[in-house]
Amino acid sequence: MNLYSSLIAQCAHTKSLTTLRAVHNKVIKSGFSYSFLGHKLIDGYIKCGSLVEARKLFDELTNRHIVTWNSIISSHINHGKCKEAVEFYGNMLVEGVLPDAYTFSAIYKAFSQLGLLRHGQRAHGLAVVLGLEVQDGFVASALVDMYAKFDKMRDAHSVFLRVLEKDVVLFTALIVGYTQHGLDGEALEVYEDMVCRGVKPNEYTLACILISCGNLGDLVNGQLIHGLVIKSGLESVASQTSLLTMYSRCNMVEDSIKVFNLLDYANQVTWTSFVVGLVQNGREETAVSIFREMIRCLIRPNPFTLSSILQACSSLAMLEVGEQMHAITMKLGLDGNKYTGAALINLYGKCGNVENARSVFDVLTELDVVAINSMIYAYAQNGFGHEALELFERMEKLGLVPNSVTFISILVACNNAGLVEEGCRIFSSIRNNQKIELTRDHFTCMIDLLGRSRRLEEAAVLIEEVRNPDVVLWRTLLNTCKIHGEVEMAEKVMRKILELAPEDGGTHILLSNLYASAGKWNQVIETKSTIRDMKLKKSPAMSWLDIDREVHTFMAGDLSHPRAHEIFEMLHGLIEKVKILGYNPDTRFVLQDLEEEKKMSSLYYHSEKLAIAFALWKTIGRTTTIRIFKNLRVCGDCHSWIKFVSLLTGRYIIARDAKRFHHFKGGLCSCKDYW
């Protein structure tokens, strides 16, 4: 028998399933009772990876020892078969076999995986009866972990307090639970208690508490723990990944880069944490470079890596790079994933490519509120109001409940498409929906919508409904007063704003522009004097575009471009031709007191006109879409001019300004002159 025991142990060690089967057959032929070798054979089959044969042999045994039950239960849990493990546990109790510490530490995990809280509580009660709840550290740690997974942190803490001899595993289980549920302050308190008791943390404790420091923005404690990680020699992949995250969340990007550069090895999670941290800190270009390095190192990105890098491409409006990332998601079979799908929709929406955004949306395997919100907002940014409304109405048919973000997106869509009545109807429905709380963002959208449709008095009344209205709400109304040249009302709004924020520079600049467009030059001089006294600087209008992977930037009247001669030649030709089609320069958009002829000349050299003239010169003979970007709003004169240029040249022109996209085609714009 000792020979067979030795052979079975050797098979288990070498994971030789074929040899183990041969030994099993020899045992059967020799007539040895399973009561002596059954458990060893089951253990051997489990270690050789054959759960089916272990289960078959287990069912043949008549007298099953607690060790055998524990082996079959834990092996099923380890193979993700928690439901079967729970069934075994129930059968064991029926047969009168009492669980031990090993049983409990395994079965609590199965209960949490399956969401069986009541089963877990009953098993907890049995552990108390058997005196194993707080006497055995493994059982207590498993209980804390189980309650944490059920979001029962009070119960987890209660178990923790009853344990007299607390070890690192127990402390870590509670710290992990608190961190996972956003209770980072409590996690730090438990860690401090652990240190005071002289219990040395392990790599998992430190990795977890670093995440809490990052969530709290607690750089001081984070740096102290970083020192402890180095001093104790616990610089594992887990702790280094948490260090990256901690420094990123504390806005210490350079420190996170240093940590990453010192790593001997980085796994998928580490790369992803680094990329996410860079994007969150506005280092999108660096994130794209790091992602490319990750691909070169043959590290497979996951949906979170890809959604984060797509967010970087969206922020930079890097359509070509974003399309490359889209190709990678398709190659990895992740294009139908809801996280990457929403990020792709957002990318194409922010790059003005609504058709591609919709194509991504249509292949998603799982439609949720996030994906639909992304698509509605893509439509909203690009002025496709009716399409956004159609999708909004489809949500109800799909059984999806709109959230606060949905309503903001659909109000933006109504605003950008001039759908005033539809916007009013939706805003009214939000008011009547007790499950949705009206926020300042909802009011801002509605005030802008009413103001742009010249319903300024209604917009002002709506602001008064808001408890403690802020500067943003009043400035939104002031901006719509500027659009319509309503000087008198603008001055009233100005007084409201200055009551709230006397030093608000943006308001003075807006009012100065309003006076200029209305030709009130004395007031312009007075307002500009105030602006100078406040030492404010107005952001210069700037337009840029990417052609053949090279970015070209223009400012009004810019003569510095290497191709300035060709640009001006193209621009003058375009102006003369579009005048024949009906373009008439609108000098109301010149914010300086100049002679009429000089006003027109000033209009001709706005940054967006220079950018489009360059694009047309650079792409002569092509039919590709022209895409330009502007840091401020496209002025009314340029908007009119671009419509005529699209009619004249037959080119599709997409312009993204500070508020939205304008799609110019055949002399028309997607905003229908409502911008």
pLDDT tens-digit readout, 266-298: 899 999 999 999 999 989 999 999 999 999 999
Give pLDDT, residue 626: 93
4 confidence band (pLDDT: 50, 70, 90)? low
Question: Average pLDDT, stretch 6-12?
Answer: 69
Mean pLDDT taken over the chain: 86
Residue with the larger pLDDT of the pair 60 and 274: 274
Has residue 219 got a pLDDT over 80?
yes
Single-letter code of the amino acid located at 32: F
pLDDT confidence band for 591 (50 / 70 / 90): very low
DSSP letter, residue 438: -
Identify the weakest region by mean pLDDT among 36-45, 174-183, 263-272, 556-565: 36-45
pLDDT at 594: 41
Name which of 14-28, 118-132, 470-484, 660-674 the model is least confident about: 14-28
Task: Give CA–CA dist 457/450, Å, rounded.
Answer: 9
Q: How far apart are CA 124 and CA 132, in angstroms?
A: 9
Beta bridge partners of 655: 628, 662
Does the pLDDT of residue 260 top 70, yes or no? yes
CA 573 from chain centre, in angstroms, equals 46
Burial class of 438 by CB neighbour count within 10 A (0 to 12, 13 to 18, 19+): middle
Report pLDDT for 634: 85
pLDDT at 207 over 80: yes
C-alpha 203/C-alpha 209 separation (Å) is 10
Segment 178-190 shows an average pLDDT of 94
Please state, for a pLDDT cut of 90, what percent of the chain lies above it. 50
Confidence of residue 593 (pLDDT cuts 50, 70, 90): very low
- Range in 52-66, 187-201, 210-224 the model is least confident about: 52-66
Distant-in-sequence, close-in-space partners of 239: CB < 8 Å, separation ≥ 6? 203, 206, 207, 210, 229
Mean pLDDT of 564-583: 92
CA angle 523, 525, 526 (to 5 degrees): 65
Reduced 3-state DSSP string for 451-468: HHCCCHHHHHHHHHHCCC
The confidence score (pLDDT) of residue 35 equals: 57
Q: How far apart are CA 136 and CA 166, in angstroms?
A: 10
Contact 322, 294 (CB under 8 A): no
More confident call, 534 vs 328 = 328
End-to-end Cα spacing for the chain:
89
- Report long-range pairs for 550-556 (Cβ below 8 Å, ≥24 apart): 552/611, 552/614, 554/607, 554/610, 554/611, 554/614, 555/607, 556/602, 556/605, 556/606, 556/607, 556/610
Judged by DSSP in three states, 26 sits in helix
What tokens were used for 485? 């040249």
Residue 622 is which amino acid? R
pLDDT of 490 > 50? The answer is yes
**pLDDT at site 141:** 93
In this prediction, residue 184 carries a pLDDT of 94
Q: Which tokens is 209 given?
A: 């508490």
Residue 592 has pLDDT above 60, yes or no: no
Model confidence over 343-400: pLDDT tens digits?
999 999 988 899 999 999 998 888 889 999 999 999 999 989 999 999 999 988 888 9
- The pLDDT value recorded for residue 587 is 62
CA atoms of 305 and 301, how far apart (whole Å): 6
Give CA–CA dist 100/126, Å, rounded. 10
Cβ–Cβ under 8 Å, residues 539 and 631: yes
pLDDT the model gives residue 499 = 79
The pLDDT value given to residue 68: 86
Answer whether 87's CB lies under 8 Å from 69's CB.
Answer: no
Per-residue pLDDT at 237 exceeds 60: yes
Above 70 in pLDDT, residue 600?
Answer: no
H-run or E-run covering 560: none
pLDDT level of residue 135 (50, 70, 90 thresholds): confident
Question: Would you place residue 90 in the very low, low, confident or very high pLDDT band (cuts 50, 70, 90)?
Answer: very high
Contact predicate 48/20, CB 8 Å: yes
Instruction: Report residue 167's pLDDT band, with 50, 70 and 90 as the boundaries.
Output: very high
- Which stretch of 189-203, 385-399, 469-483 has the lowest confidence by average pLDDT? 469-483
**pTM of the predicted protein model:** 0.76
Name the more confident of 88 and 45.
88
Residue 104, token pair as written in the block: 């409990």
What is the signed CA dihedral for 179, 184, 186, 187, rounded to 10 degrees?
Answer: 50
Tracing tokens 């039919």 back to the chain, one arrives at 623
pLDDT score recorded for residue 265: 85
Tokens found for residue 341: 């799908």
178: left (phi over 0), alpha (psi -120 to 50) or beta: alpha
d(Cα 608, Cα 542) in Å, to the nearest integer? 8
Other Cβ atoms less than 10 A from the Cβ of 162: the count is 12
Radius of gyration of the chain measured on its C-alpha atoms: 34
Give the pLDDT confidence score for residue 519 in this predicted structure: 67
